[in-house]
Structure 1
Amino acid sequence: MEDIFAGCISLQCKDIHKLPIVGWWLMPAASLVASQYIGNNDAEIFEKVVQSTAQDEDILSNGGGNPQEPVAAAAVSITYNINPFFIGPSVDLGLLHQPDPDSPVTQFLDRAYTEKGTHSVIYVAFGTVFFPPPSAMSLLMTALDEIPKAGFRFIFALSSPDAELDQSWMDAHVQAGNAIFPEWTNQTAVLEHPAIHYFLTHGGWNSSTEAIVRGVPMLFWPITGDQPLNAAQIAGVHDCGFELLQVRTGPAKFISYQNGTDVEIMGTEDAVREEMRRILALTKGPRGEHQRVNVQLLGRVVTQSLGSGGSGDMELERFGRVLGLQLRVTGQAQV
């Protein structure tokens, strides 16, 4: 629990949150993180979800269910005496998306692929809602500065209204040919491009699953909500990426307990620089190749679960029967 929620309800803060250390349950803890320590104005949604869950008889979940979270799947049924339907994530599994050849993003990727080959670009995006706080901007720029030094280029999608970076810093990277900073990207098309190496993300469920089904390993910078748990599960359990630790701030700037190793969070530019440098070096070696294989295998599990006869497909059919819907087969399609 200490590390899953980035230290925000850690032992260090026990005099503040006054929670017992043993027996915490994940979702109430997540709502506490969002409402008490992150400062998210929309945090009450997490509390309302937890409160309503206890009163529900059925839950429709876009999680992977038993293939990814067997303990959580069983715990939901036992704890709340409800009937969960794990239909799988809502990701696009269609044919490869055709990128716009006139898009600056596509041109940047194609140029990197021609000049540096496959796995030469790191895609950076925190979604349309979340972004590291202003107090972490120097840490963010320090981390990204290491990408060109490691021989990579990067695309930083600035989709959030809170995405504000030093203009001179961005201009320097653009002029050097190291980076591009679009306000919007076709994320699925970007993740499918052969030039993409890793995806630096906040770890939201949609972004995470889009990367998983496309076989792209991740670098996690979780902020709030489900993101720390997604990072812990995908990076820590499935070894499909790395979580950045030295970027943590506030109560999370303490000690990380991951995989039996205690890591002191210094939260300085030097610490972030060294961590990013070490991780990028690992992504270029056997560990990075291993993570790429892992995420491809996990993506195959997710894709098969959503296909005809897969676990997600069968759960959706079971949910339809509960609603009284009739399954009608037309040719190869189920309606």
Structure 2
Amino acid sequence: MPYDAVILAGGEARRLGGADKPALTVGARSLVENVVAAVSGADRTIVVGPERPIPGVVFTREDPPRGGPVPALAAGLAEVRAPWVVLLAGDLPFLTAAHVTALLKAADPAGAADPAGAESTGPGGAAAVPAGVESTAAAVPAGVEGTGPGGAAEAAGRAGAVMVDDGGREQWLAGAWPAAELQAALRTYEGRSLKGLLGPLTGARLALPGRPWFDCDTMDDLQEARMNVLKEWTALACKELGIDPAAVDRDQILELTKEVAHGVARPAAPLTAYLLGLAQGAGSAPEDAVARLTTLAKNWGEATTETLTDG
């Protein structure tokens, strides 16, 4: 199904201290780059916000800048050429192409098809997550339908779909609508909320796994997204090496490497993690090895001379 993507990425991020939120990174990508990757099947990708070095993207701004989501949507729609529009926030770290495909199928079940060449990896670029491992960027299972709150009866006669969060609340910056209907509604709409504009156009409310609607409004949100990348990487690395993930105390290792990076040197942190693995493989109890290495790092300034002069 031909579609254009409109990504709103020009807000003030007040709860992040005015930081350039779309440029903040989760895994190997910035937040906005992850959203752009998720709509790789779009005919055009339109970002409403400051220009960034992202190839293949059309940048535009609302007038005046930071005028709110409705003016930003209007600016993005002016660049739309396809019959369908996927509207997204620019700070969705867990969104994947598979989520977008499911959204389009829910918006128009009779006509949607998988976008050609769509990626299904998360912000770290990882492959499919092992079965049974919790993952916030796992691919959406095939055949997911838009049968969330509202159901098929409410959808009758209306195209368009919006994602809902775990509490059943619509996430209006994670939806898909017919472009012509959206443009017509905008011409007569005088309100400021996306709910007032998009609610009457929405037929399906879609609950998807992996929290694709999760956005990064606060530093806690950003930290949660980054920790989930570590969770996914740990699961995949354990599968590759044939290690039981339950044997990996991620928090303990991170605390140790933080202590080493702070007390010794940053390059010493990954080396210490490797030495910890060797010690465990040689039969040392992990808790004992961690305690000894932590003490060594805390006393590094005092221990250096003695260590270097030991015969």
Above 0.5 in TM-score? no
TM-score (norm 1): 0.26
Look at both structures and tell me which one has the larger radius of gyration over its CA atoms. Answer: 2
TM-score (norm 2): 0.27
